[in-house]
Amino acid sequence: MRDETMQQGRKPTRPRMHGWKWFFAGLLFMYVMVYMPTPYVIFTPGSAEEVKPMVSVKAGDDTEAGTFMLTTVRRTYANIALLVWKAFDPNAEFGKKEESLRGRTEQEYATEQMFNMSNSQLGAVLAAYNQLNIPYKLESQGIYVVSNDPKLAHNELQTNDRIMEVDGVKVNEFADLQQALQGRKAGETLQLKVQRGQEENSVNATLVEIQDGNDPSKKRVGFGLYYGEKKDAIPADRNKTVTFKESDIGGPSAGLMFTLELINRLSPGDLTQGHRIAGTGTIDPEGNVGPIGGVRHKVVAADREQAELFLVPEGNYEEAQAKLKNMNTQMKLVPVRTLQDALQAIEQLGPAK
């Protein structure tokens, strides 16, 4: 009777989890939160980078009391932990990874971004030369593979391959490639010589029927590729030669800010007038400014670097203005359609006090 009373008075014991079970539970939790892939990407404000260190002009005027800044968007592949954390960030925007890549591999996406930047730089040089009436000529620096169309292509080509020859015909620009394919038929397999990194390789590529880019109602033959052509603008006065330094920033949207920096370097005086000027927008050789993506993030990036003026393409103005209204900032936002609009907005700032 006494033993039974004591037994009933004891607290029930709980099963203990062995140490190794806690260890594996912790590993599983860490994998799910940090390492398990998700189909999402997160876009957040990137940086506002000074353009001056990215550009050199052979005999340019380096006077610049202020600064021109290009702006970027940060694109991050999201794990579970980052998704939870950024859910409380008003500056974060979520998207699907597949929508971002649009069927391309990561390497192809990176190559496309670098070619977009290269084209942006070329457009900026031409816009600056045309604005300042500097004579120049264009020289092709080669045709490159950006990506394969997975629905059409049947070849051994890789992203960033430079096409040197097509069945023994030398290729340096698009006209050469078109000439090499004249009279060919879909289904033919040709041998191409390509430069891949530091090596030259021979690869096979089968011709396929594709839609003519100039006339959608017609068909022509090709390799089912997206190409990029590198070009250089060679000024008549070699002292006005522009060189861009290598950068890991990609995309087409820095054109306007590159142009403003180049005009400042290619002409006497200080175009910045001592102000911190940020902006975004594509530009063509005639000085037309085009819209870009991610402007709401770029406005935040510019403000973080104390920009006084933000130049925004007219097509992005409403989105940028809506973001600016929710920010505690004195930064001025000006919409521009052309290079002349941007130059006028800067002139109206007057000298910095």
Q: Return the active site residues.
A: 253, 298
* Other CB atoms within 10 A of residue 97 CB: 15
* Other CB atoms within 10 A of residue 222 CB: 23
Got the DSSP string for 185-252?
-TT-EEEEEEEETTEEEEEEEE-EEEE-SS-TT-EEEE-SEEEEEEEEEEESSGGG-EEEPP-S--SS
Cα–Cα distance, 206 to 189 (Å, whole number): 4
| Three-state secondary structure of 8-62 | HHCCCCCCCCCHHHHHHHHHHHHHHHHHCCCCEEEEEEEEEEECHHHEEECCCCC
On the 0-12 / 13-18 / 19+ scale of CB atoms within 10 A, 42 is: buried
Q: Which residues, in sequence order, are CB contacts of 173 under 8 Å at separation 6+?
A: 140, 142, 143, 229
Strands 309-313 and 276-279: parallel
